[in-house]
Structure 1
């Protein structure tokens, strides 16, 4: 009986985690769900085709760098489930205006393109988005169950 309880505690402990930060390391293609000081989950992710450096303008295929908020969930996306990143912030907009470009927007953490989830073992080996952060569909389900709207996301190279 003692072993069954231990197994149940191990299997369900992350279900009770309060993810208070999503951290993304672009140089390692990793996304971490963090509860306090503890990493609750870790995922391999794909980015835009030009991942190095901060997003400067629409169409540059870069993922923004800095601290943002995951501000709403989107279930009717062209991709399997999504959560919006609050890019561009005021600084991003000011920078884009200064250089005379649109900052772009609609940056998400999302699953695979609709109806192509089966292709994830291949697509997740490459940076294929237009600047978003991509997970497999199964990982996206887990992400959506663990991460609440309003959670900060830190993205760095």
Structure 2
């Protein structure tokens, strides 16, 4: 009985620490024009993804028709195009999904082919590292189920809820176009 009580106390303490940690993360105000998430479940293949950084919006398309809209979190310093490793920016431009990771540190992830040749050439000319490993992904695996980190918290990736990345992951193939606008 004492072991069960200690285990319950430890779990309660961990939950409290997680709640305090999440509450202390910087909050980004919600933009007034931010759309509500589309409640419809995404079905069938996606052939294009449009990310609008300033609106914190991602739209999945098939044959030019929007299928689903998602609210997103970005890198911790989202304004402007990604220049180098560690700048906290999400890159801008036209990319492709180039890898799928079911064993990600985040709940599922779709890799974007950044840096591209022009990014590597620019970075080499400036003597900097362009960064890489940009993904569309869910929440960190260590968070309790259902928790959604507030604000822009990634290192440059695009984050959505775990349920949303599960449906997008199922509908998105390698080669899918991803356009990221300012």
Taking structure 1 as the reference length, the TM-score comes to 0.86
Report the 3-state secondary structure (helix = DSSP H, G, I; strand = E; otherwise coil) of the residue aligned with 1:102: coil
Report the 3-state secondary structure (helix = DSSP H, G, I; strand = E; otherwise coil) of the residue aligned with 1:97: helix
Which ranges of structure 1 fall in alignment gaps of 5 or more residues?
Answer: 1-10
Task: For residue 146 of structure 1, report the CA deviation from its aligned partner.
Answer: 1.3
| RMSD, matched Cα | 1.4
Alignment of 1:145 with 2:173, yes or no, is no
**Residue number among 110, 127, 152 corresponding to 1:100 in the alignment:** 127
Report the 3-state secondary structure (helix = DSSP H, G, I; strand = E; otherwise coil) of the residue aligned with 2:83: coil
Which ranges of structure 2 fall in alignment gaps of 5 or more residues?
Answer: 1-39
After superposition, the C-alpha distances for 1:27-47 in whole angstroms (9 at most, x for unaligned) are 100011011221001100000
**Residue number among 70, 78, 84 corresponding to 1:43 in the alignment:** 70
Normalized per residue, which structure has more helix? 1
After superposition, the C-alpha distances for 1:51-97 in whole angstroms (9 at most, x for unaligned) are 01110000000000000110110011111110100000000001111
Match of 1:6 in 2: none
Distance across 2 between alignment mates of 1:37 and 1:93: 31
Alignment of 1:75 with 2:88, yes or no, is no
Distance across 2 between alignment mates of 1:37 and 1:75: 28
Match of 1:5 in 2: none
Q: Which ranges of 4 or more aligned residues in structure 1 deviate by more than 6 Å?
A: none
Distance across 1 between alignment mates of 2:113 and 2:176: 11
Work out the number of aligned pairs and report it.
142
Report the 3-state secondary structure (helix = DSSP H, G, I; strand = E; otherwise coil) of the residue aligned with 2:118: helix
Taking structure 2 as the reference length, the TM-score comes to 0.75
**Where in structure 2 are the equivalents of 1:1-157 lying within 5 Å?**
14-16=42-44, 18-116=45-143, 117-120=145-148, 123=149, 125-157=150-182
Report the 3-state secondary structure (helix = DSSP H, G, I; strand = E; otherwise coil) of the residue aligned with 1:54: coil
